[in-house]
């Protein structure tokens, strides 16, 4: 019995060594996969960031360096399939020409690309397109900028009950009063936001046709056409919404190359 027991111990040690070696190999392979995953993601993010930066320059706009992030893990699984869950592109301090010598600024233009297709061969050779099925971009134009575009002194804009509200000083019938009103917002062709104040009121004035005509004329003077600067990735303004921080602008696009020509 002693001889049999003596032969069994070396076998147990050898089996334990094999198990430890196998575990170490698994850990190393995991680390290699993680590193390869991150390198692959960084490469694709750089390609997209370079293209977005080039488009911004072409459109005579400016922003901080594009911050591109490919969402979803593992990245390599997405690479092999050639399909990506979501790509985020953050453009901080975005600004661009809005016509008539004006500049529109957005603290952050947040772009989300969904249903992105990028064949492995495209990433390997840099030939071909990385295409997003849908893209949505959101940014905010502050109310001070909008008020300045009105060309009227003392105009203040803010969100009130989900609408764009205005207050402004005006002189009617030799009396200085403060007018109040809300605006209708419309997105027109060419990424133009139309701001129209159809009704304004003022306390302390008689309700007579002469006063009402004066208020209506002032409301027309407050009309603003905001030309949103050309946006990268073929984004077109779809809707606007007053918020506490400013006028929120939402732009969309479909079937857009993220790394190819077009803007």
For residues 234 and 127, what is the distance between their CA atoms, to the nearest angstrom? Answer: 21
Lowest-pLDDT range of 75-84, 85-94, 198-207, 215-224: 75-84
pLDDT tens per residue, range 22-61: 555 555 444 444 444 454 566 667 777 888 888 888 888 9
Tokens at 99, concatenated: 């016509």
Confidence of residue 188 (pLDDT cuts 50, 70, 90): very high
pLDDT score for 103: 86
Cα distances from 140 to residues 93, 210, 211, in angstroms, run: 11, 38, 36
Whether pLDDT at 21 is above 70: no
pLDDT tens per residue, range 122-178: 766 667 777 889 999 999 999 998 888 888 888 899 999 999 999 988 888 788 888
What is the model's pTM? 0.75
For residues 73 and 54, what is the distance between their CA atoms, to the nearest angstrom? Answer: 28
Cα distances from 216 to residues 74, 117, 168, 175, 209, in angstroms, run: 60, 53, 14, 16, 10
pLDDT score for 86: 85
For residues 155 and 178, what is the distance between their CA atoms, to the nearest angstrom? Answer: 10
């Amino acid at each position: 019995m002693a001889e049999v027991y003596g032969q069994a111990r070396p076998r147990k040690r050898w089996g334990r060594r094999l198990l430890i070696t196998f575990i170490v190999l698994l850990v190393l392979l995991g680390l290699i996969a993680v590193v390869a995953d991150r390198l692959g993601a960084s490469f694709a993010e750089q390609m997209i960031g370079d293209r977005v930066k080039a488009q911004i320059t072409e459109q005579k706009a400016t922003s901080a360096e594009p911050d591109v992030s490919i969402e979803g893990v593992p990245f390599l699984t997405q690479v092999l399939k050639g399909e990506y869950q979501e790509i985020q592109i953050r453009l901080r301090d975005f600004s661009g020409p809005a016509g008539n010598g004006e500049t529109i600024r957005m603290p952050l233009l947040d772009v989300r690309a969904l249903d992105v297709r990028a064949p492995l061969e495209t990433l390997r050779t840099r030939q071909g397109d990385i295409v997003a099925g849908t893209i949505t971009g959101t940014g905010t134009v502050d109310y001070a900028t909008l008020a300045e575009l009105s060309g009227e002194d003392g105009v203040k804009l803010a969100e009130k009950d989900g609408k764009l509200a205005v207050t402004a000083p005006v002189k009617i019938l030799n009396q200085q009063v403060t007018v109040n009103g809300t605006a209708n917002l419309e997105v027109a062709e060419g990424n133009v936001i139309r701001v129209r104040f159809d009704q304004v009121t003022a306390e302390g004035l008689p309700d007579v046709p002469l006063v009402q005509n004066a208020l209506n004329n002032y409301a027309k003077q407050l009309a603003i056409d905001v030309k949103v600067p050309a946006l990268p990735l073929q984004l077109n303004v779809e809707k606007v919404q007053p918020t506490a921080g400013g006028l929120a602008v939402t732009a969309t696009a479909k079937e857009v190359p993220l790394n190819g020509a077009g803007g």
